[in-house]
Amino acid sequence: MEHKSCQDRVVKHFQEDKHQVALDRAAELKQHIEGYSEAVKNIPTGFKLEEEYRARKKKILEALGASEDNWHDWQWQMRNRIDDLETLRKLIPITEEEAGQIQRASEKFRWSVSPYYVSLMSTDNSDCPVRMQGIPGIKELQDSWGKEDPMAEELTSPAPRITRRYADRLIINVTNQCAMFCRHCQRRRNIGEVDTPSPMEEIRAAIDYIKNHAEIRDVLITGGDPLTLADDKLDWILTALDQIEHVEIKRIGSRTPVTMPQRITQELCDMLEKHHPLYLNTHFNHPKEVTQEALRATRMLAKAGISLGNQAVLLKGINNDPHVMKKLNHELLKIHVRPYYIFHAKAVKGTTHFVPTVQEGLEIMENLRGYTSGLAIPWYIINAPGGAGKTPILPQYLLSMGRDYVLIRTWEGKVFRCANGSI
């Protein structure tokens, strides 16, 4: 009996030791996240700012002589995009200096922004990440090294409206229209002065090219923004692709869930649901853009069975901060959107003031892996010059490798030697 009691004490002591080890580890892990926990208190999000957004919406509707019904009509949003300084000044405060810069930049680069997206802009901060993405500035004219087409899309177009950089997939560019012309847009050379959907004969030629190339299994419909097309035209394009046996999946690239979520109607979702398997990648860049109205749109798409991903662009002054990017990814998961890519900003003419360093991108990735769930970790991508394709950029976790071992570094910086294969 005494022997059993001694054994019980040993077991209990061992269990207490294990429990203490677990408690110590939990305390260590908590320290890892304290910096983010403190920083996130000062990161504005669309959900936190909902009341402010509603107040701005009311002011915008009054200034434009519109109703609540108008606001929820995506075609009204398109017709009433703000593209002149006089109207913008009625909606948000603009200093004389800012006004002069906007006027000068707009003489060279077209701009336009939906009333909805204006409602997300700070009224007292010209460095607001939403304002910086939507309103032109003098830095666009001070670009000495950007290129009109750094990805050489014009050299990778074997048929009208086609961009092809990979063996089994390609892009169809169906319009130059957008709900907003983002200041960091990679295709600003295509914007022009007039909104122009791609001619149907050119889209048919693109479809024919796909029909004649059996290796193409994945087609991305992009623009501009394809969701600015009428439902029936987009339906026609998707139907034509459905009828090509070797096309396995279709994708749509659209920023309307961010810049004009009113475009996501039940009629649109009912139409899209006919064309599975169908994926939609959108383009949230900051937590302020993740709003209740965006949630309504993404939830409708999710209910229609549309898989949603996000392709953020790493932009200096907007999201080149580990805490901001992590918070963005957390907010996206709350609205059914999986973080997919972080694109390093491209050196497009007029946009290079947004280009951060690669070191900043790597720092962000270092502060995601291990520090948050895998669902919240996208790939960090640099588009190789001249249309050579997406290249993943990763922190170095594999330090060295031999025939029977690998030396790895963990997310905490701890180094381990592991077996390479069976021993």
Query: 217-226, pLDDT tens digit by residue?
Result: 999 999 999 9
Residue 201 has pLDDT above 60, yes or no: yes
Q: Are 123 and 93 in contact (CB under 8 A)?
A: yes
Residue 335 has pLDDT above 70, yes or no: yes
Average pLDDT over residues 2-14: 61
- State the pLDDT at residue 11: 58
- State the pLDDT at residue 4: 57
Hey, how many other C-beta atoms are within 10 angstroms of the C-beta on 237? 24
Task: Give the separation between CA 259 and CA 257, rounded to whole angstroms.
Answer: 6
Reported confidence tier of residue 298, pLDDT bands at 50, 70, 90:
very high
- State the pLDDT at residue 95: 95
pLDDT digits (tens, 9 = 90+) for 362-416: 999 999 999 999 999 999 999 998 888 999 999 999 999 999 999 999 999 999 9
Task: Give the separation between CA 360 and CA 320, rounded to whole angstroms.
Answer: 7
Hey, how many other C-beta atoms are within 10 angstroms of the C-beta on 280? 25
Reported confidence tier of residue 15, pLDDT bands at 50, 70, 90:
confident
Hey, how many other C-beta atoms are within 10 angstroms of the C-beta on 317? 13
Task: Give the separation between CA 200 and CA 160, rounded to whole angstroms.
Answer: 11
- State the pLDDT at residue 192: 73
- Look at the block and give the residue holding tokens 């394809």: 226
- State the pLDDT at residue 153: 87
- State the pLDDT at residue 3: 57
**Of the candidates 253, 250, 99, the residue with the CA atom closest to the CA atom of residue 173:** 253
Average pLDDT over residues 134-141: 97
Locate the domains of the chain by residue range.
2-42, 50-135, 153-392, 394-423
Q: Are 371 and 343 in contact (CB under 8 A)?
A: no
Residue 319 has pLDDT above 90, yes or no: yes
3 state SS of 28? helix
- State the pLDDT at residue 387: 85
Hey, how many other C-beta atoms are within 10 angstroms of the C-beta on 30? 10
Task: Give the separation between CA 250 and CA 275, rounded to whole angstroms.
Answer: 8
Q: What is the CATH number of domain 153-392?
A: 3.20.20.70
Helix (H) / strand (E) element for 270: namely helix 266-272
Residue 190 has pLDDT above 90, yes or no: no
Q: Could you tell me the CA-to-CA distances from 413 to 146, 369, 376 in Å, in that order?
A: 37, 12, 21
- State the pLDDT at residue 75: 98
Residue 6 has pLDDT above 70, yes or no: no
Q: Phi first, then psi: give them for residue 363, nearest 5 degrees.
A: -65, -40
Average pLDDT over residues 13-38: 90
Question: Which percentage of the chain shows pLDDT scores above 70?
Answer: 96
- Look at the block and give the residue holding tokens 């002069």: 100
- State the pLDDT at residue 68: 98
Q: What is the pTM of this model?
A: 0.95
Q: What b/e sequence results for 72-100 when a residue is b if at least 16 CB atoms lie within 10 Å of its CB, and e otherwise?
A: ebbebbbebbbeebeebbebbebeeebee
Residue 161 has pLDDT above 90, yes or no: yes
CA angle, corner 267, sides to 277 and 120, nearest 5?
95
Task: Give the separation between CA 257 and CA 295, rounded to whole angstroms.
Answer: 8
Q: Is 18 left (phi over 0), alpha (psi -120 to 50) or beta?
A: alpha
Reported confidence tier of residue 152, pLDDT bands at 50, 70, 90:
confident
Average pLDDT, the chain: 95
